[in-house]
């Protein structure tokens, strides 16, 4: 089997992954999954597409992650894994689409405007 690559984004995080058949090892920036994401809920987010398609433990995944926070990185990685599974086998698409793993969450941080405290918050108004 050849090497499959995919891309996932969430907020400011970008995940570039390379997938091949193997023992189920996930390497993120030359570190293991348990080392990079010590929280169980983040590990679960990353493994969700593999669990739903019942492919957990069948692919070796090498990941380059950059930008954003840990939650955004985990969700970017989830999207990338889902896209790679669709490239591997088109039958996975309906299951992943039904669970919402193929939809890119486009919400981004709104920029701060000049003359305001934050993006929408204004300075306190003083009448006198």
pLDDT of residue 28: 96
Q: Is the dihedral of CA 42, 43, 44, 50 positive or negative?
A: positive
CATH number, domain of 39, equals 3.30.230.10
Q: Is residue 106 part of a domain?
A: no
pLDDT of residue 2: 84
pLDDT of residue 1: 62
Edge-to-edge strand list for the sheet holding 26-28 = 4-10, 13-21, 59-66, 26-28, 31-32
Q: Is residue 104 part of a domain?
A: no
Q: Is residue 118 part of a domain?
A: no
Q: Is residue 114 part of a domain?
A: no
> How many structural domains comprise the chain?
1
pLDDT of residue 23: 93
Q: Is residue 46 part of a domain?
A: yes
Domain residue limits at 42: 4-98
pLDDT of residue 49: 95
Q: Is residue 80 part of a domain?
A: yes
Ranges of residues in the chain with a pLDDT under 50 are: none
């Amino acid at each position: 089997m050849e090497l499959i690559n995919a891309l996932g984004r969430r907020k400011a995080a970008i995940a570039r992954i390379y997938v091949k058949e193997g023992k189920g090892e996930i390497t993120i920036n030359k570190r293991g999954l348990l080392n990079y994401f010590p929280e169980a809920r983040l590990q679960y987010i990353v493994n969700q597409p593999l669990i739903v398609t019942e492919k957990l433990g069948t692919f070796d995944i090498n990941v380059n992650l950059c930008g954003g926070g840990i939650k955004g990185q985990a969700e970017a990685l989830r999207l990338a894994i889902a896209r790679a599974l669709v490239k591997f086998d088109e039958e996975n698409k309906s299951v992943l689409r039904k669970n919402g793993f193929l939809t890119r969450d486009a919400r981004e941080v709104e920029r701060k405007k000049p003359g305001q405290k934050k993006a929408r918050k204004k300075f306190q108004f003083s009448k006198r």
